[in-house]
Amino acid sequence: MDKPLTIYGQTLSSRLFIGSALYPSPAVMQQSIEASGAEVVTVSLRRQGTLEAGNDFWQLIKDTGLKVLPNTAGCHSVQEAVTLAKMCREVFQTNWVKLELIGDEYNLQPDPIGLLEATKQLIDDGFEVLPYCTDDLVICQKLVDLGCEVLMPWGAPIGTGKGLLNPYALKTIRERLPNTTLLVDAGLGLPSHAATAMEMGYDAVLLNSAVAQAGDPIAMAKAFSLAVDAGRIAYEAKAMPEKEVAKPSTPTMGMPFWHQQ
């Protein structure tokens, strides 16, 4: 029996979280989000722009009927991220925040020191923080020690579509934090990247560019949805052990079935 995905006490059936930026049109955004089967959409307060444009965008998001995960994309300091998180709580009426605090403009790498400080301040203020972090085990452990029930280590830098750049680090985090809900966030480009993360035992994935910037975003959203489900089923099914030497799968003698000892 598959263990349901729980995010700060809320049970979800879809393990794909979707972003709301960079789509070619509002209609394509809405149809892509629907095709993804996601139950959570992440929204940046910053990208709403002018009040009028912001209202239109917000109405589109509301029309999806999905749970909103506000994010602090574009923040470069603790103060900025904490202030934006508080504004998001007012606007979106949720304690959830995807905490993004950028430390390096070149690869949009999270600032690990600032992330810990901002997480502490927000948790003390009653937030349920989903930090976007690097795949550094020690930072992840410290975020858990501060009270994060959910972590979102990167697969690759945002918007690169490179997939899982450091599978060893991601596997280590999974193994060492078995009771933490883990999502791979950012850098995925192909459905196979999402499937690999799920096969590793990640609880879910969050992505935006791979769908929004695809030639056919709606079809790509569906492909990611299927890949996430396939990866999860494969994880639950437990893969065969990898071997160093060949072993014939068609025995020449004896019984055609394999008997477990």
Ligand X SMILES: CC(=O)[C@@H](O)[C@H](O)COP(=O)(O)O
- Residues comprising the chain, all counted: 261
Contact call for residues 142 and 110 (beta carbons, < 8 A): no
Q: How far is the CB of 260 from ligand X (least distance, A)?
A: 41
| Cα(116)–Cα(261) distance, integer angstroms | 48
d(CA 20, CA 181): 22
Taking the least distance from each CB to ligand X, the nearer of 116 and 152 is 152
Residue 209 marked ligand-binding: yes
Residues 6+ apart with CB under 8 A from 180: 140, 144, 148, 149, 150, 151
Does residue 159 belong to the site contacting ligand X (CB under 6 A)? yes
Q: For 174, what's the count of Cα atoms within 13 Å in the CB-facing half-sphere?
A: 17
Phi, psi at 59, each rounded to 5°: -65, -40
Residue 138, token pair as written in the block: 């020690």
Q: Which of 7, 16, 73, 151 binds ligand X (CB under 6 A)?
A: 73
Q: Report in angstroms how near the CB of residue 249 gets to ligand X at its nearest.
A: 38
Selected binder of ligand X within 19, 70, 114, 163 (CB under 6 A): 19
Half-sphere exposure of 252 (CA within 13 A, CB side): 2
Stretch touching ligand X by CB under 6 A, among 5-13, 168-176, 201-209, 219-227: 201-209
Considering only residues 98 to 137 of the shown chain, the ones binding ligand X according to CB under 6 A are 132
Q: Return the range that interacts with ligand X (CB under 6 A); candidates 48-56, 182-190, 225-233, 253-261.
A: 182-190
Q: What residues make contact with ligand X under the rule CB under 6 A?
A: 19, 21, 42, 71, 73, 132, 158-159, 185-188, 206-210
Per the annotation, binding residues are 159, 186-187, 208-209
